């Protein structure tokens, strides 16, 4: 399965690892502290156990807190210690929160919408500083899934944030003043965005980007943490030009020479990276193909298309590939392998193995040897129909022919949202189990008919995907035994799109959900021990820290991201005003004050004087689905964006200055004059009015719908 070049890479890597392992031994002996908490690696210099200074707390990103003041016996007394809600909001659209707050030296560092960084006193909530990187509001058009951000990195006296519009920014941790910033985008004419948290690896700060649905070519870049100088850049897929580094040549062998390079190829690194400081390997989770169907990317062929949907092990200092494992060869279902990766040392078959664990979108839970890339286990953690199983000998999936939708629509499990998305899972070394926020929904895929041109700033997926009617659509928290490859316990069904997970030495698993509830489970049994109503969807993962002998649990709340386009059944945002908020809980805290209830918006009169002929309405429908529906849901379906089916008359009058002229671009509504004409915008309004009339005549008619990606 691997090429000779791969084998050479692997041999070279082993020598390097040996030298590093020796150096590691000396460091480990000079530092007295043995990792107390199951994480295989010590914390960074100067970081103490009660802090949470890296994205997943330790380098292994287990999201396990060794704190045990809050435990199964007293979590019922958990309440609100303090809260923060002074977020930067542009216009009236709330974008939600996805970040893991970091805590060091008594300060919490977190991000909100528009890549804004907040530093607040971790004991009182008093603001130390706020840094607004002044993201270009028009850049929201390039984002598949809203102007969200998943957090900062800390190193020495610096804080790093990567912005929606592609900058990596280093800030002074004490003042929030900018030390340096670099442009991480190789092509600003393409729809690259950053929502992920930068990672610290081998003296570098590493960051990828998103945009695989929008026609980009994926890559990850490493910058010297002190100076911001580019250390290396690794492209995950080939492009139209010459190979930038040897691994691109390796990947190119698995693409057709007739591939649609103009559509980018995808393979974006939009979220997960994990660093093993002992092996000096950076693990990079690579996203789906762009466009989605491999037969559209490659003109009827089905080659593997490396390194789509793969886990890459990259030497953090050199940027060279040590090994790779492709979870979904020839990906055609938006099955990213960008989900969070956890490192642990597990006893498997009588041997202690250094493993990497991931539950990517495709529904299989993978356990890999993180030194060699050897596949140790791959079992289904949710319903999966695209593949029967993973062949342990070849490491390849046995793909179901019934999942291939080149000729006819096919319904496949999991959906494009995956069996698990960006909301991080957590690992408890106490129990040896992983707690996965799973998603359960099928999706019906069909290939886009006719030509698939590249459309700047629009979806370029080459397919349609929509959930089948009468669908299952829910989240379930599952405790997973990675050695046995089976579910140990699972939660009652939760509303769609549950939150990320924290587990603690107090025997707890904590997870928020879209209905606004933070739930504490007994990590051993799954028994619900405490529910806290907040009235705000919780997507972000909780974290925990200790100051002055008191343990806190912090979590960001507020709906946004991919769910801002449509609120699903059970969402708190259907009942309460949705806004961003940080909650910090401790024992003996108070009850949460719920947000105000939603106001009822009166139905405004229909706009008049618009054309009503069938051609104009059809053009408007097509343009709406292509350019508007990604954010603005039809027919007043509740969502986070302005309701085009109930606009105030003044906004109808100003339609062209907004849609073509970009009058509201600061708030995230970019101008579309490069792809839409005044005739198009007139047609869009004509379609909306025609559909409003249709709704009144026939309220049960099926609304226009387009597929979604994440």
Residues that are catalytic: 334
Q: Which is nearer to Ca ion, 272 or 504 (CB)?
A: 272
Task: Give dist(CA 623, CA 459) in Å, integer.
Answer: 12
Q: Binder to Ca ion among 65, 72, 204, 288 (CB under 5 A)?
A: 288
Region binding Ca ion by CB under 5 A among candidate stretches 11-19, 399-407, 487-495, 701-709: 701-709
Query: Can residue 709 be called a binding residue for Ca ion (CB under 5 A)?
Result: yes
Nearest distance from C-beta of residue 542 to Ca ion, angstroms: 26
* Range 566-585, binding Ca ion (CB under 5 A): none
Total residue count of the chain as it appears in this document: 710
Shortest Å distance, C-beta 637 to Ca ion:
22
Measured from the CB atom, the residue of 403 and 676 that comes closer to Ca ion is 403
Stretch of residues binding Ca ion (CB under 5 A), selected from 38-46, 122-130, 283-291, 631-639: 283-291
* 671-700 binders of Ca ion (CB under 5 A): none
CA 171: distance to chain centroid? 24
User: In sequence order, which residues have a C-beta less than 8 Å from that of residue 641 and are 6 or more positions away?
Assistant: 93, 564, 565, 631, 632, 633
Residue with tokens 């928020």: 512
- 17's CB contacts (< 8 A; 6+ apart) are 279, 280, 371
Q: Which part of the chain contacts Ca ion (CB under 5 A), choosing from 41-49, 326-334, 470-478, 581-589?
A: 326-334
User: Nearest to residue 377, comparing CAs of 399, 401, 346?
Assistant: 346
Write out the binding residues for Ca ion, residues 170-199 only, by CB under 5 A.
none
210 or 482: CB nearest Ca ion: 210
Strands 78-84 and 508-512: unpaired
Among 146, 278, 331, 334, binds Ca ion (CB under 5 A): 334
* Part in contact with Ca ion (CB under 5 A); list of ranges 330-338, 400-408, 465-473, 542-550: 330-338
Q: What residues from 342 to 381 belong to the interface with Ca ion (CB under 5 A)?
A: none
Min CB(212)–Ca ion separation in Å = 5
Nearest to Ca ion of 373, 561 (CB atom)? 561
Task: For tokens 């008191």, name the residue.
Answer: 550
SS3 of 696, please?
helix
- What is the footprint of Ca ion within residues 472-511 (CB under 5 A)? none
Binding mask 234-273 for Ca ion (x = CB under 5 A): ----------------------------------------
> Comparing C-alpha atoms, which of 438, 424, 421 is closest to residue 480?
438
Query: Residue 331 CB, nearest distance to Ca ion (Å)?
Result: 10
Distance between CA atoms of residues 68 and 80, nearest Å:
18
Residue pair 289/332 in contact (Cβ under 8 Å)? The answer is: yes
Q: What is the footprint of Ca ion within residues 6-65 (CB under 5 A)?
A: none
Question: What is the largest distance, in Å, between two alpha-carbon atoms of the chain?
Answer: 80
Count of chain residues binding Ca ion (CB under 5 A): 3
Q: Which is nearer to Ca ion, 291 or 595 (CB)?
A: 291
Closest separation in Å from C-beta 287 to Ca ion: 6
- β-pair type (64-65, 501-504): parallel
User: Is the CB of 276 or the CB of 334 nearer to Ca ion?
Assistant: 334
Rounded Cα gap, residues 304 and 302, in angstroms: 7
The answer to whether 218 and 271 have CB atoms below 8 angstroms apart is: no
Residue 516 touching Ca ion (CB under 5 A):
no
Q: What is the closest distance, in whole angstroms, from the C-beta atom of residue 144 to Ca ion in the complex?
A: 7
Residue 624 corresponds to which tokens in the numbers above? Answer: 């709406």
* Cβ nearer to Ca ion, comparing 94 with 361: 361
Tell the smallest beta-carbon distance from residue 312 to Ca ion (Å): 17
Query: Tokens standing for 3?
Result: 């090429």
Stretch (H or E) spanning 172: strand 167-172
Which residues, numbered 589-618, are part of the site for Ca ion (CB under 5 A)? none
Query: How far is it, in rounded angstroms, from Cα 679 to Cα 677?
Result: 5
**Interaction site with Ca ion (CB under 5 A):** 288, 334, 709
């Amino acid at each position: 399965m691997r090429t000779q070049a791969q084998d050479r890479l692997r041999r070279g890597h082993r020598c390097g690892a040996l030298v590093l392992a020796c150096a590691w031994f000396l460091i480990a002996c000079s530092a007295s502290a043995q990792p107390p908490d199951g994480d295989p690696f010590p914390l960074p210099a100067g970081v103490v156990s009660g802090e949470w200074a890296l994205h997943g707390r330790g380098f292994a990103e287990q999201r396990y807190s060794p704190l045990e003041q809050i435990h199964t016996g007293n979590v019922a007394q958990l309440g609100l210690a303090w809260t923060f809600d002074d977020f930067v909001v542009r216009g009236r659209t709330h974008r939600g929160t996805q970040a893991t707050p970091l805590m060091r030296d008594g300060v919490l560092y977190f991000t909100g919408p528009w890549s804004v960084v907040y530093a607040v006193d971790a004991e009182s909530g008093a603001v130390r500083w706020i840094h607004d990187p002044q993201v270009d509001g028009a850049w929201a058009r390039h984002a598949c899934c809203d102007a969200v951000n998943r957090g900062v990195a800390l190193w020495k006296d610096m804080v790093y944030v990567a912005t929606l519009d592609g900058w990596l920014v280093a800030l002074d941790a004490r003042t929030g003043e900018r030390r340096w910033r670099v442009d991480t985008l190789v092509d600003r004419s393409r729809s690259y965005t950053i929502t992920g948290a930068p990672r610290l690896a081998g003296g570098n700060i590493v960051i990828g980007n998103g945009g695989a649905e929008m026609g980009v070519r994926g890559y990850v870049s490493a910058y010297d943490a002190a100076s911001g100088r580019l250390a290396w850049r690794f492209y995950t897929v080939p492009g139209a030009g010459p190979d930038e580094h040897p691994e691109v040549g390796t990947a190119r062998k698995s693409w057709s020479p007739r591939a649609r390079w103009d559509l980018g190829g995808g393979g974006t690194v939009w979220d997960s990276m994990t660093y093993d400081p002992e092996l000096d390997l950076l693990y990079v989770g690579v996203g789906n193909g762009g466009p989605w169907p491999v037969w559209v990317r490659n003109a009827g062929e089905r080659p593997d298309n490396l390194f789509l949907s793969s886990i890459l092990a990259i030497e953090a200092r050199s940027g060279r590939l040590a090994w790779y494992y492709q979870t979904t060869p020839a990906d055609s279902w938006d099955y990213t392998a960008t989900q969070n990766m956890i490192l642990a040392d597990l006893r498997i078959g009588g041997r202690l193995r250094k493993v990497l664990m991931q539950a990517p979108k495709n529904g299989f839970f993978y356990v890999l040897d993180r030194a060699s890339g050897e596949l140790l286990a791959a079992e289904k953690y949710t319903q999966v129909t695209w593949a029967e199983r993973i062949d342990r000998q070849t490491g390849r999936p046995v793909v179901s022919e019934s999942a291939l939708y080149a000729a006819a629509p096919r319904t496949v499990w999991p959906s494009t949202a995956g069996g698990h998305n960006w909301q991080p899972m957590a690992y408890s070394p106490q129990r040896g189990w992983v707690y996965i926020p799973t998603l359960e929904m099928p999706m019906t895929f069909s290939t886009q008919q006719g030509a698939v041109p590249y459309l700047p700033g629009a979806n370029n997926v080459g397919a349609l995907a929509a959930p089948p009617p009468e669908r299952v659509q829910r989240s379930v928290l599952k405790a997973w035994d990675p050695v046995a490859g089976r579910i140990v316990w699972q939660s009652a069904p939760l509303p769609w799109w549950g939150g990320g997970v924290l587990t603690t030495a107090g025997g707890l698993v904590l997870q928020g959900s879209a209905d606004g509830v933070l739930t504490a489970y007994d990590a051993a049994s799954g028994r619900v021990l405490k529910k806290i109503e907040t009235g705000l969807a919780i997507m972000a993962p909780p974290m925990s820290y200790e100051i002055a002998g008191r343990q806190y649990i912090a979590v960001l709340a507020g709906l946004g991201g991919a769910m801002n386009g449509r609120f699903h059944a059970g969402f708190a945002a259907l009942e309460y005003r949705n806004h961003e908020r940080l909650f910090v809980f401790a024992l003996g805290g108070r009850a949460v004050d719920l947000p105000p209830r939603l106001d009822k918006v009166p139905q405004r009169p229909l706009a008049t004087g618009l054309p009503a002929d069938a051609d104009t309405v059809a053009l408007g429908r097509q343009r709406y689905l292509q350019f508007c529906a990604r954010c603005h849901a039809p027919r007043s379906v509740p969502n986070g964006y302005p309701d085009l089916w109930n606009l105030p008359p003044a906004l109808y009058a100003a339609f062209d200055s907004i849609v073509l002229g970009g009058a509201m671009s600061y708030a995230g509504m970019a101008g579309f004059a490069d792809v839409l004409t005044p005739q198009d915008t007139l047609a869009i309004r004509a379609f909306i009015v025609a559909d409003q009339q249709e709704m009144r005549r026939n309220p049960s008619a099926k609304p226009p719908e387009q597929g979604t990606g994440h």
